[in-house]
Amino acid sequence: MGRTLAEKVWEQHVVRRAEGEPDLLYIDLHLVHEVTSPQAFDGLRMAGRPVRKPELTIATEDHNVPTLLGPIKDPVSRTQVETLRKNCAEFGIRLHPMGDAGQGVVHIIGPQFGLTQPGMTIVCGDSHTSTHGAFGAIAFGIGTSEVEHVLATQTLPAYRPKTMAIEVNGELPPGVTAKDLILAIIAKIGTGGGQGHIVEYRGEAIRKLSMEGRMTVCNMSIEAGARAGMIAPDETTFEYLKGRPHAPKGELWDQAVEYWKSLRTDDDAVFDTVVELDASTLTPFVTWGTNPGQGAPLGSVVPSPQEFDDPIQRAAAERALQYMDLKAGTPLRDIAVDTVFVGSCTNGRIEDLRAAAEILRGRKVVTRTLIVPGSMAVKKAAEEEGLDEVFKAAGAEWREAGCSMCLGMNPDTLAPGERSASTSNRNFEGRQGKGGRTHLVSPAVAAATAVTGRLTAPADL
């Protein structure tokens, strides 16, 4: 019987397999940031262990960093960032600190450097590591104990997850983006739908996505509960990688591409679970609740809890409407927002900024609007294209790179009761600041919303 993409990549990385034990899996790349690593480095020190492969490890500062120029004012945040610097110096790990041209959100810089490649295993103490699966890598988030384990051994013991195919047939209509697609998928299968699985996104609509769109889709795999998300590498992938600083060169490039072309699910392979979706029926999609599965087409209304047959979902919807201060039956287009956030590892790449700029060109925003590039390189690219001028002319704030308002560990937060349209990945209670209310949207919907002050699709303008 044939094998799936996930099975092929997994098998390639098994260091040791024994009856009744999890596989010991080799890790090709370990991404590190300041929040989930300090206790792991402490553990190494206490046990007198070195980092086994510093050359397969890279660190950046992203979660805590302010997006306005200047030092970190919060002393606790500053200590955390300084601790990362000390740890990277002590253990010999490459670090891209604040202000460095290579700094940025951890999941933006991996692909940008060409460190993320097909067929690899990639981990990070961050659940959105699933982003890297867009290249046909197995990439997943881990906790601090596992961060320490990878630092010490460059391996992880793990059971192979089940496999799920999400087949997206047909073409996305104009104006409907990768973000709308993944929000629709999560609404369909639920926040626990992918639990215990590695998802492979397949089908015509997926193949037609750019690498950046694919990253947006894989990024939110965790929001559907999946361990990881993957897309088989193809010419789009190779084209994106070629010439990047850490991509193979010369003869090695040819060897690599030949191998990468084998990284596809065999025609006779069988997935444990299959989900199908018709892309051509999709429209811009937004969330109304407090988990990413609570979403609906922008053209619809806030649902009534009574519509949910399952009592647990009904109770969750009731609670969500109360927290979000929304009434069932309200058209989603009538929801007024205070703040618009464009950025994050979900939508902080150059194509996302272009999509927002296209809407904002020649228009004015009526909300507080933060545009936060995902990395210093994205920022530079945007400025070379003049996108920063478009944003500033529209009245939006053009910021430095970082995670920013996605989780509000830096000063960019919502005030209690404040409502946002956000291109990030989580609408959990208090995610963007205590008492804040989040609607997840695409960059195009975010920009259109900033212009009208209400949830708006670009076509409405």
Partner 1 sequence: MEAFTTHTGRAVPLRRSNVDTDQIIPAVWLKQVSRTGFEKGLFSAWREDPSFVLNDPAYDGASILVSGPDFGTGSSREHAVWALQQYGFRVVIAARFGDIFRNNSTKMGLLPVVLPGDVVEELQAAAEADPKTEVTVDLAGREVRWNDRAVSFEIDDYTRWRLMEGLDDIGLTLRAADDIAAYENGRQPWLPTTV
Ranges within 155-174 binding partner 1 (CB under 8 A): 155, 157, 159, 161
Q: Is 124 annotated as a binding residue?
A: no
Contacting range for partner 1; rule: CB under 8 A; set: 230-238, 251-259, 345-353, 448-456 = 251-259
Quote the least distance from Cβ 156 to partner 1, whole Å. Answer: 8
Side-chain-side CA neighbours of residue 95 (13 Å): 21
Q: Which is nearer to partner 1, 341 or 391 (CB)?
A: 341
Q: Which is nearer to partner 1, 265 or 413 (CB)?
A: 413
Residue 250: which residues within 8 A CB-CB, separation 6 or more?
none
Q: Which amino acid is at 298?
A: L
Residues 271-310 that bind partner 1 (CB under 8 A): 290-291, 293
Residues 255-274 that bind partner 1 (CB under 8 A): 255-256, 259
Q: Is 406 annotated as a binding residue?
A: yes
Q: Which of 252, 336, 393, 461 binds partner 1 (CB under 8 A)?
A: 252
Quote the least distance from Cβ 422 to partner 1, whole Å. Answer: 14
Residues 361-380 that bind partner 1 (CB under 8 A): none
With CB under 8 A, what is the number of residues at the site for partner 1? 89
Q: Is 345 annotated as a binding residue?
A: yes
Contacting range for partner 1; rule: CB under 8 A; set: 119-127, 206-214, 273-281, 369-377 = 119-127
Q: Which residues pair with 375 in a beta bridge?
A: 104
325 binds partner 1 (CB under 8 A): no
| Encoded tokens for 197 | 């699985």
DSSP H/E element including 356: helix 350-360
Q: What are phi and psi of 278, to 5 degrees?
A: -105, 110
Q: Which of 3, 7, 85, 127 binds partner 1 (CB under 8 A)?
A: 127
Contacting range for partner 1; rule: CB under 8 A; set: 122-130, 171-179, 339-347, 356-364 = 122-130
Q: Which is nearer to partner 1, 22 or 386 (CB)?
A: 22
Judge contact between 144 and 37, C-beta under 8 A.
yes
Quote the least distance from Cβ 376 to partner 1, whole Å. Answer: 17
Residues 166-225 that bind partner 1 (CB under 8 A): 191-192, 195-196, 222-223, 225
Q: Which is nearer to partner 1, 40 or 205 (CB)?
A: 40
Cα–Cα–Cα angle for 81, 84, 89, rounded to 5 degrees: 130
| Encoded tokens for 346 | 């979900």
The conformation of residue 193, written as its DSSP 8-state character, comes to: T
Quote the least distance from Cβ 219 to partner 1, whole Å. Answer: 13
Q: Which amino acid is at 207?
A: R
Q: Which is nearer to partner 1, 42 or 167 (CB)?
A: 42
426 binds partner 1 (CB under 8 A): yes
Q: Which is nearer to partner 1, 111 or 348 (CB)?
A: 111
Q: Which of 7, 15, 366, 395 binds partner 1 (CB under 8 A)?
A: 15
Mutual angle of helices 376-384 and 387-394, in 10-degree steps: 90
Residues 42-101 that bind partner 1 (CB under 8 A): 42, 47, 49, 52, 54-58, 63-64, 74, 76-77, 79-80, 83, 94
Q: Both ends of the chain: CA-CA distance in Å?
A: 52
Q: Which is nearer to partner 1, 119 or 297 (CB)?
A: 119
Q: Which is nearer to partner 1, 95 or 378 (CB)?
A: 95
Residue 196: which residues within 8 A CB-CB, separation 6 or more?
161, 162, 227
Q: Which is nearer to partner 1, 42 or 171 (CB)?
A: 42
Quote the least distance from Cβ 126 to partner 1, whole Å. Answer: 6
236 binds partner 1 (CB under 8 A): no
Residue 286: which residues within 8 A CB-CB, separation 6 or more?
183, 295, 296, 297, 298, 332, 421, 439, 440, 441, 445, 455
- Please classify residue 60 by burial: count the beta carbons closer than 10 Å to its beta carbon, then call 0-12 exposed, 13-18 middle and 19+ buried: buried
Residue ranges of alpha helices (H) inside 199-333 are: 204-207, 211-219, 235-241, 250-260, 311-324
Task: Annotate each residue in 23-52 with x if it binds partner 1 (CB under 8 A) or - if it does not, as one string.
Answer: -x-x-xx-----xx-xx--x----x-x--x
Contacting range for partner 1; rule: CB under 8 A; set: 121-129, 301-309, 345-353, 442-450 = 121-129
Largest CA distance in the chain: 64
Q: Which is nearer to partner 1, 101 or 315 (CB)?
A: 315
Pairing of strands 273-278, 285-287: unpaired
Contacting range for partner 1; rule: CB under 8 A; set: 232-240, 264-272, 356-364, 401-409 = 401-409
Judge contact between 168 and 190, C-beta under 8 A.
no
Extended strands (E) in 147-293: 155-158, 162-169, 197-202, 228-230, 273-278, 285-287
Residues 405-424 that bind partner 1 (CB under 8 A): 407-409
Q: String of b and e for 372-405 (b: at least 16 CB within 10 Å)?
A: bbbbbbbbebbeeeebbebbeebbbebbbbbbbb
Binding residue ranges: 345, 403, 406
Binding residue ranges for [4Fe-4S] cluster: 345, 403, 406
